Structure formats: C-alpha cells, structure tokens
Amino acid sequence: MTAGLRSYLETDWFGPLAITALAVAVIGGLNPSFLSPFNIQVLLLAIAVNTLIALSQMIIIAVGQMNLAVGAIGGLAAVCFAGLMQVWGLPPVAAAVAALAIGLAAGILNGIFIAVTEISAFVITLASLSVYKGINLGITRAQPFYGVADSVKAFGNTTVFGPVPWLMVPTLVVVGLIWYLLNRLPLGRSILAVGGNSHAAELSGISVSSTLITAHAISGLLAALAGVVLVARLQIGQPTIGDDWLILSFAAPVIGGAVLSGGHVSTSATVLGVAIVAIITQALVLFRIDPFFVQVVLGGLILWAVGVNRWREVRLRQGPRRALR
C-alpha cells in the first residue's frame, strides 16, 4: 500500500465518502429514478434537517458526553415557532428567533445542571428530555399548530437552483461554522480538549464548567434550528417532532468516526454519515421495502460503524510499537 493511500485511509472522511459514492453508484445503477432531480431534492431535504440534528449531538460527543434531550429541545422549539405565529401572530423571523432562544436556554440549563452538580450528562438529559417534552405536550395538548406563515412554507419547499432546496442554506452555513469552531477557534479546541482529557485541559487554564455549558448551549441552539427548519419543511407544527431523532443523532457522528468517550469528532465525516443514512433510507423506499425495516438497518449501521472505529483504534495503538520493532 502506498503511503498516500494509507494517509487517506486514516482520515475520518475517506471511508464514509467511499461508501456514499458506492451507494449512489449501485442504487443509481439498479434504479435510475434514484438520480432524478426530484429524488435528489428529497434526499437533500432530509440531509439538510438531519445534519443539524447530528451536529447538535456531535458537539456533545466532542466534549465527552451525550445529550438525550436533542429531540425534546428540537420539538419544543418547533411547536413554539409554529405556536407563536398562529396564536400571537408574530412575524416568522421574530418567531424563529424566539424559538432559537428557547433552544439555547434549554441547552444552557442542561449545561449548568451538568457542570454544577457533576452528575452524568446521561441522567441530567434523560430528566430534561422528559421535562421539555412535557412542556411541549402541555402547550400543544398533543394537537399540531397549523398556522405556519406562507413565507415559511415557501422557504421549506422551494429550491435555490436545480434540485438544491433553500433549506440547504442554513445547514451549509452551520456546517461551515462548526468546522471553523472545532478546527480553528480556541473555544472549539477547548471543547475537544475537555473531551480528550478534562483534567489536563483544566490544568492548561481551560474552564471545564464553562466549556461544558458552551457545548450544551450550542447543542440546544442547533436542535432548535433543526426543529424550526423541520416546521418549514412539514408546513405544520407537529408536537411529535423530535421523537425519532435520538438514534440518528448518534448514528451519523459515529459513522463519521467520532469517539464516544470524547475528544475526537469530524464535522465533514458526520455530514457524510447523515448522507449515508439518508441514501439507505431512500433506497429502502425506492425498492418498496417495509419502512419499519429502516430502524433495523439504522441499528445495523451503528454497530458496523462502531466496529470499524474500534478496528481503527486498535490499529492506531499498535502502530507505534510495530514501527519500533
């Protein structure tokens, strides 16, 4: 194996990219309608929303924790967005800003509880999941809000050019910002440092508690944005928005090579992870396979990705010793 190819194999994005390309080629070959502009648009719509969900979880994985409340925060923000437009007649932009603020606050609350009590994020976000979901149901009485403004509906269902939907715009901006944050800004490096070795990070002058709160704040904000964007796409404020986000939110970062104990994530590979999940889901629909089977496939994908990560980790550890001998 040449050194060049080996260095590609060691990146996080190469494997997912190869699989994406392979999946597109195989499925497109078997069923040409997979590559029709309409189908590509549907695919991109799913990727636009799911990328936000995945990044919301990825930032918490980076800091070495997990956020079970991603879906509950997104759902709460979604119904608030639709509800503020329907009930109070707020203009869409004001309603969106308010919904994002609610998501941000929910994330900050999670972060503060975790940082102050030092109880595991699993327990705190399990509890807050229930709280946020309860507030959601209290507001909506489990009924959808239908009063979504026409401009919002248009934003969710028109394209910029070709098959590229407008919804891709906020997602692309967010992907760029998150990549910049985690690779170039000390704030993002602090998040990864705390995830990699929180004791060492603290001794290097990084405030662990404020870093945790920041990570949860970003997570809450992204979950809320996903909720708002999903309202635009569905044209309705469903109280069930967010209920099925959890598995996907972990699947994409893990397929993208994220280390669940923290300290290592890849933004680009996570986006590719989202794409793989979307393509496979879409393929199951195209081939008229029972949609309930999607869950099984998603579970299988996670196991496979964890297995690949494990294999790479073992090889990484053995690398230096082999080199010395």
**C-alpha angle 222/225/226, rounded to 5°?**
90
User: Minimum distance from CB of 316 to another protein (Å)?
Assistant: 7
- Nearer to another protein by C-beta: 1 or 324? 324
Pairing mode of beta strands 159-161, 164-165: antiparallel
User: Minimum distance from CB of 197 to another protein (Å)?
Assistant: 5
User: Minimum distance from CB of 205 to another protein (Å)?
Assistant: 4
Among the candidate windows 75-83, 222-230, 288-296, 314-322, which touches another protein by CB under 8 A?
314-322
- For residue 247, give Cα distances in angstroms to 226, 277, 306, 324: 15, 11, 14, 41
Interface with another protein includes 189 (CB under 8 A)?
yes
Sequence letter at residue 98: A
Which phi-psi region, left, alpha or beta, contains residue 159 (left: φ > 0; alpha: ψ -120 to 50)? beta
User: Minimum distance from CB of 196 to another protein (Å)?
Assistant: 4
Q: Rule CB under 8 A: which of 195-254 touch another protein?
A: 196-197, 199-201, 203-206
Per the CB < 8 A criterion, the answer to whether 46 and 218 are in contact is no
- Nearer to another protein by C-beta: 138 or 320? 320
Per the CB < 8 A criterion, the answer to whether 248 and 139 are in contact is no
- Nearer to another protein by C-beta: 249 or 266? 266
Interface with another protein includes 288 (CB under 8 A)?
no
How is residue 99 written in tokens? 């919904």
User: Minimum distance from CB of 320 to another protein (Å)?
Assistant: 6
User: Minimum distance from CB of 208 to another protein (Å)?
Assistant: 11
Interface with another protein includes 98 (CB under 8 A)?
no
* Rounded CA separation 325/321 (Å): 7
Following DSSP, what letter does each residue of 84-141 receive, concatenated?
A: HHHHS---HHHHHHHHHHHHHHHHHHHHHHHHHH---HHHHHHHHHHHHHHHHHHHHT
**Residue 237, strand partner residues:** 145
Query: x/- contact string, 149-188, with another protein (CB under 8 A)?
Result: -------------------------------x---xxxx-
Interface with another protein includes 321 (CB under 8 A)?
yes
* Rounded CA separation 210/306 (Å): 30
Query: x/- contact string, 257-276, with another protein (CB under 8 A)?
Result: --x---xx------------
User: Minimum distance from CB of 291 to another protein (Å)?
Assistant: 38
Tally of CB atoms within 10 A around 2: 7
Interacting residues toward another protein by CB under 8 A: 180, 184-187, 189-190, 192-193, 196-197, 199-201, 203-206, 259, 263-264, 316, 319-321, 324-325
